[in-house]
Structure 1
Amino acid sequence: MKPVTKNDRLSVYVEDLTHDGAGVAKVEGYPLFIKDALPGETVTVHVLKTLKSYGFAKLISIEEKSVDRIDAPCPVFEICGGCQLQHLSYAGQLKYKEKVVRDAMARLGKLPDVPVHPVKGMDNPWRYRNKSQIPFGMDDGRVVAGFYQPRSHRIADTDICLIQTPEADTLMASLKRNLQDMGIEPYEEKTHRGMLRHVVLRKGRVTGELMVVLVTKKQKFPQAERAVEAIRAALPDVTSIMQNVNGDKTNVIFGNDTINLWGKDIIEDRIGDVRFEISARSFYQVNPEQTEVLYGQALDYAGLTGSETVIDAYCGIGTISLFLAQRAKFVMGVEIVPQAIEDAKRNADLNGFTNTLFEAGPAEEVIPRWYKDGKEADVLVVDPPRKGCDEALLQTMLEQKPQRIVYVSCNPATLARDLRILEDGGYRTQEVQPVDMFPQTTHVECVAWLTR
């Protein structure tokens, strides 16, 4: 028998936050998830839905506020899905993220004694995103742009976003004003009609170079010249204007074909002393300031003296590999996406590194072949996607037995799961350092250091 029913009105105490930032209160052990409620608060809620093991409730009023509650500065915070924690002070956000990592280590990894350090945060946790992906659409006859509402593809219309660059705000507002005058129809996902799907802006944090990518449904784009003029008028310092074509019925942003409309094909940026060329579709960390902190931590944990061979098992365009190559004897990077490997080779040449090797393919196939050919690693670095390491790669790591593993993770849950597997296979997790790459959101990245 559930202790609450739909439409109940209750006063509850909020104990915790979920992974997506909802408050958690318990009624006789039954969890209620409450959007916008914070730990330490006593709140009145209206029960919206009850399932077998948990329910959802709407926040009606706050009887006792958390000391960490602040007024969210963004005008569309309540309806936008981009941020979840603007109503929580930044100090409170860092405490919450440290707890998320500690809980994952203890509960999922069965590693309660592994040292988890306080989260390395930002001095200014705003305007940090160097890449904005802005959907455009129509609403009641007017052009709208902004970011998607939670768990939907409805656009939360806005002219500003406080975690993206001011240039992205300028571009978004300008195109919204001028799109209809230019005869460009925003794309409609349900009907698959319209031309302009997304506008992507990328900025080099160190160089200041700007790239704008117009993602269109068709390659034939009669208004391209007028669009270029409008973008250059809004952003006089723009470096590159590209068109990417995506004609598929999909919510994936980019298609396969990219065309230069004006300026350079790439922009350049630096992380620390390493230069990177960034194309329209290149993967590049969206918070370069904290990326330098994250990769610096990975470099420290690698413990390089100049005599080591390192394998980077999810190397992407070579960002971590080239950071490591500054101190390693030799670095070998493997990545399943061939285009990323071409980018990695180009970035190695750009920086004059001659101590790197990059190969496209599944890491769990390429790495054993390298070992068979005598290319053994002292240090193995992994930076997998949110789902964590491939099971076959974990087995490969245990078979090849590198002395030291550095695990860079964007998901504490899968990190803890994989650390447990590596521990059971003969490794020990020395420590975990969380880094706040995405302030105002629930995401937290970690670097873990393991030794045999």
Structure 2
Amino acid sequence: MNKIKNNYEVGQKLEIEIEKIVFGGEGLGRIDGFAVFVPMSVPGDKLEVEIISVKKSYARGLITRIIEPSKDRIEDLSKISFEDFDGCDFGMLKYEKQLEYKDKMLEEVLTKIAEIDLKKIKISKIIGSDEKINYRNKTAEPFFKKNGIIQTGFYSRKSHNVFSAKESLLKSEIAKIIIDKFLQKVNSFAGTKKEFKVFNEVNNTGFLKQIMVRNNEKDEVMIVVVVNKNSQYNQLSKVLEEMYDENDCIKSIYISVKTEQNNVILGKNVHLFGSQYLEEEMEGLKFKIYPNSFFQINKKQALKLYDVAINFLNEENKNTDKIYEKTVIDAFSGTGTIAMMLSKNIKKVIGIESVESSTLAAKLTSYENSIQNVEFVNGKVEKELPKILKREDVGAIVFDPPRRGIEESALKSVVQNKIEKIVYISCNPATFARDVKILAENGYVLRKVTPVDMFPQTPHIETVTLLSKLDVDKHIDVEIKLDELDLTSSESKATYAQIKEYILEKFNLKVSTLYIAQIKKKCGIVLREHYNKSKKEKQVIPQCTPEKEEAIKDALRHFKMI
């Protein structure tokens, strides 16, 4: 194997032409065969980039100057900060090109990961969004202080520092107004003994952490201010009371006390003023949204997505009043949106959701909407699904999982119970393709795929798919139990020994099986159950180093496992 020379270092500036956009949204260019990934870049761009990180097989860089823009790049460059831009990695692309690249990325993961023959399934073109900017109904921004002034912003790609973006393409106009008013209030104390302190995550000091603003279609607002401990709690409470009294659009205010340092935004929520929830309406149904509740951030586009999912599920009943006589499960049901929208033509719907507040909200919403054929269960899907399948005659399941996809044990339950039809709504094409491959190997056929652009200006893709069991009258039904396989479908790509050999040869690094397993799990690859676990209660598990993690990911890409 020929090794590509790597003579590059952080801070170095290079000229590069972008060849393609890879899964995840970054542009890829090469210098003498050495790969450089550049966010906010477009195929055809000729750029000057500054290297921000260097690995043995690739580097990452940020744009410092556009030498010659691609024809697919937007013309108004003043709105884009090339170094960082509010997570809008497709913000520099013309919208029609955003849709085109998302279609290509979806096709790539279906062929490479799920090993699907695209000629044998119906893949629709991505459904574009009517609202391309300012569509988010939920915004969370960290506080930082610059020149004595408190601001909100976004985390930098270079570090965990916070910066203020020139313009935000995603957050709603009402959220911008509310955040600006709040900042004016807290900055009125600047230079006094009551000056608000901003949280410092390095030494765990300070008070103000983040502000979250949620709004509904009527532009009614919920404010949640996240703080560290209670040092300036009473002072902040008075500021928020003033905000509530002065702004009719503000319907709910919370303070969330969060002392733990992790990636979860909210801590212990304390309700201060107004209602405990926001109310949103969809298709005649009214939903209650609490601080922790899941609700689609792009409501208008969510309606299109749900319409596709419901049509997939009800295709046999189309244009009739026929009631589907079997039970349908809405797995990962959130606040119950899909379950309640399905209930019109379904005899019984059961929603499963792990977040207790979302489950309670769903139960209350179904009661207030006089829906009597929907039941909601609080718990993890992998634990509750087998129980429900034992007691109910289930004909179909709607899965709408988080980015990690569906747990292997839940897929096993589907296979063992020979569920007739699956509608899979995915926010991560990679884990979706992984799950589809497992189902396909166990008697399911991928029939229809419709991507929906829920998140314009970003590389994220939401996909609605229909899978069904093979027709028993036309096929021999062979049941393959997942626990009888030596390897999962993803693991069968390459053995641990092959991965180790590849990394040793290319990077001159030795990696353990444990490290490979950790990175596989991190990348969403399903691992089989390990039965030879240590019996020690407080065992210390070594964690993979960043350098070895990148080498393992390179190997997984080489073997087309990610």
Q: TM-score, normalised by structure 2?
A: 0.75
Counterparts of 2:33 and 2:80 in 1: how far apart (Å)?
A: 36
Match of 1:203 in 2: 215
> Is the CA contact (8 Å cut-off) linking 1:6 and 1:49 kept in structure 2?
no
> Is the CA contact (8 Å cut-off) linking 1:385 and 1:410 kept in structure 2?
yes
What letter is aligned with 1:209? E
Question: Mean Cα displacement is larger for which, 238-247 or 52-61?
Answer: 52-61
Unaligned runs of 5+ in 1: none
Alignment CA distance shift 1:110-1:151 (3 Å) = farther
Match of 1:432 in 2: 449
Match of 2:262 in 1: 250
> Is the CA contact (8 Å cut-off) linking 1:330 and 1:356 kept in structure 2?
yes
Match of 1:51 in 2: 55
What letter is aligned with 1:185? K
Counterparts of 1:200 and 1:209 in 2: how far apart (Å)?
A: 14
How many Å apart are 1:181 and its aligned residue? 2.6
Larger Rg: 1 or 2? 2
- CA deviations 1:382-439 (Å, max 9, x no partner) are 1111111101011111111111100000000111111111000101101211111111
Q: Of the candidates 281, 287, 294, which is equivalent to residue 292 of structure 2?
A: 281
- CA deviations 1:289-311 (Å, max 9, x no partner) are 11111111111111263224201
Instruction: For 1:150-165, list aligned pairs within 5 A.
Output: 150=157, 152-158=159-165, 160-165=167-172
Alignment CA distance shift 1:224-1:348 (3 Å) = same
How many Å apart are 1:4 and its aligned residue? 5.4
Question: Mean Cα displacement is larger for which, 420-429 or 295-304?
Answer: 295-304
1:69 maps to 2:80: no
CA RMSD of aligned residues (A): 2.4
Match of 2:7 in 1: 5
Counterparts of 1:61 and 1:95 in 2: how far apart (Å)?
A: 25
Match of 1:14 in 2: 18
Alignment CA distance shift 1:28-1:217 (3 Å) = closer
Identity of aligned residues (%): 31
What letter is aligned with 1:87? M
What letter is aligned with 2:359? I
Instruction: For 1:38-437, list aligned pairs within 5 A.
Output: 38-43=42-47, 50-59=54-63, 62=66, 64-70=68-74, 71-72=76-77, 74=79, 76=81, 78-113=83-118, 114-150=121-157, 152-158=159-165, 160-182=167-189, 183=194, 184-205=196-217, 207-219=218-230, 221-232=233-244, 235-256=247-268, 258-303=269-314, 305=317, 306-307=323-324, 308-373=326-391, 375-437=392-454
How many Å apart are 1:230 and its aligned residue? 4.2
Counterparts of 2:236 and 2:30 in 1: how far apart (Å)?
A: 56
- CA deviations 1:340-374 (Å, max 9, x no partner) are 2222211211211100111122323322222322x
Q: TM-score, normalised by structure 1?
A: 0.92
> Is the CA contact (8 Å cut-off) linking 2:427 and 2:463 kept in structure 1?
yes
How many Å apart are 1:334 and its aligned residue? 1.4
- Equivalences, count: 449
Match of 2:490 in 1: none
Unaligned runs of 5+ in 2: 318-322, 470-562
> Is the CA contact (8 Å cut-off) linking 1:77 and 1:86 kept in structure 2?
no
Counterparts of 2:52 and 2:387 in 1: how far apart (Å)?
A: 56
Alignment CA distance shift 1:440-1:60 (3 Å) = same
How many Å apart are 1:314 and its aligned residue? 1.3
How many Å apart are 1:59 and its aligned residue? 4.3
Task: Indicate the SS of the match to 2:371.
Answer: coil
Alignment CA distance shift 1:288-1:91 (3 Å) = same
Question: Mean Cα displacement is larger for which, 234-243 or 353-362?
Answer: 234-243
Question: Mean Cα displacement is larger for which, 139-148 or 69-78?
Answer: 69-78
> Is the CA contact (8 Å cut-off) linking 1:160 and 1:169 kept in structure 2?
no
What letter is aligned with 1:25? G
How many Å apart are 1:61 and its aligned residue? 5.0
> Is the CA contact (8 Å cut-off) linking 1:46 and 1:57 kept in structure 2?
yes
Alignment CA distance shift 1:402-1:192 (3 Å) = same
> More helix by proportion, 1 or 2?
2
Task: Indicate the SS of the match to 1:222.
Answer: helix
Counterparts of 2:151 and 2:21 in 1: how far apart (Å)?
A: 32
Alignment CA distance shift 1:280-1:77 (3 Å) = farther
Alignment CA distance shift 1:85-1:235 (3 Å) = farther
- CA deviations 1:118-167 (Å, max 9, x no partner) are 11111230110001112112234221212222264321225852311112
Alignment CA distance shift 1:30-1:309 (3 Å) = same
Alignment CA distance shift 1:429-1:160 (3 Å) = same
- CA deviations 1:48-90 (Å, max 9, x no partner) are 6553332334546555532210134636563234211111111
